[in-house]
Amino acid sequence: MNLDQLLRNNIKALKPYSSARDEFKGEADVYLDANENPFNAPYNRYPDPLQWAVKEKIAAIKSIAPDKIFLGNGSDEPIDIVFRAFCEPGVDNVISIDPSYGMYQVAADINNVEIRKVKLNEDFGLNAQKLLDAANIYTKAIFICSPNNPTANLLDRGEIVKLLTGFDGLVVVDEAYIDFSPESSLLPELDQYENLIILQTFSKAWGMAGIRLGMAFAQPEIIKVFNKIKYPYNINMLTQQKALELLEQTVEKEEWVKVIVEERDKMVRKLFKLSFVQVVYPSDANFILVKMHDARGIYEYLTEQKIIVRDRSKIALCDDCLRITIGSPKENKKLRKALKDLT
């Protein structure tokens, strides 16, 4: 992979915004360099633009160097940055699997970049060769998601490796749900693939969707590009502080994941027994995809019962499918009762 060749020319030439905090690092007694208000501490000060304290903590938990971490306003930010940094609007393209997370399409559309969607196999498995065949000289990135949303399954690691070794652009592997899966993250193998970008998030297993914090892991050269084009203070002070606090709760996080996975497996067993349920697809995530007679009707019935699930029946390969997030034991029971009342 040649990073310089992948980059858009305007990004290669870009002189990034230099903030007061970029120009003076280190400790001082009096800060009169950023036009901040001297009152209302600590909120009067701009936050650390590169979030080093949070990155150090993540680095320790995940055994990875801090300069291989990018933090974004949710995973959506690094997804968008991939387009802005590497894809010339109206010229370049990316490839994604279909069905998958809707934000890849939205980010492509916003940036006026073609997205070539390649269908997964009928069993939602990944065929790397089909994706490689869809690439041309204008293909800058391949987006995959494992475990995949909305299909809930892990993609085959060997097929993912075929993409990493067979494609000379970037391969973005979205691991938003990896904590719920029996397989481990690709993160320990990051250094083996210079074109690999791994996305993770605090929104799912960590239970922090409200603070908007997403992670991208890649080689420092890629992270430097991301840092160059992000908004200078993309992660606000409150989010940084809360993340530092919540990152101490690794024990709670593991416990939440354990309960959710147990509840998921229980939900799968129970849903199988309902007469109108046709398929409960295997799940490696914190949600399940269920194919049923009259999915739309059942969706509307559940809404009347004040239980909201996601109707995915209009999505490729997901005819008559609802996507159901695993909630608390009490919430899950309520859902099961509502469904059972239909039989």
Site for ligand PLP, rule CB under 6 A: 74-76, 101, 145, 149, 174, 176, 201, 203-204, 209, 214
Residue position matching structure tokens 């997370």 = 101
> Residue 185 Cβ, how far from ligand PLP at the closest point, in Å?
14
> Residue 309 Cβ, how far from ligand PLP at the closest point, in Å?
15
> Residue 33 Cβ, how far from ligand PLP at the closest point, in Å?
33
Alpha-carbon torsion (173, 61, 202, 75), positive or negative: negative
> Residue 204 Cβ, how far from ligand PLP at the closest point, in Å?
6
Give 155 or 274: the residue with its C-beta nearer to ligand PLP. Answer: 155
Residue 140, classified by CB atoms within 10 Å of its CB into exposed (0-12), middle (13-18) or buried (19+), is buried
The secondary element (H helix, E strand) that includes residue 238 is: helix 237-246
CA 296 to chain centre: 27
Helix, strand, coil share of the chain (percent; to 5): 40, 15, 45
> Residue 161 Cβ, how far from ligand PLP at the closest point, in Å?
20
CA dihedral 15, 21, 24, 30 (to 10 degrees): 150
Instruction: Work out the number of other CB atoms within 10 angstroms of the CB of residue 87.
Output: 25
Q: Which residues of 115-139 are buried (b: 16+ CB within 10 A; e: fewer)?
A: bbbbebeeebebbbeebbeebeeeb
Give 92 or 174: the residue with its C-beta nearer to ligand PLP. Answer: 174
> Residue 75 Cβ, how far from ligand PLP at the closest point, in Å?
4
Q: Which residue is nearest to ligand PLP (CB)?
A: 74
> Residue 148 Cβ, how far from ligand PLP at the closest point, in Å?
7
The tokens of 212 are what? 């908007």
CA 225 to chain centre: 19
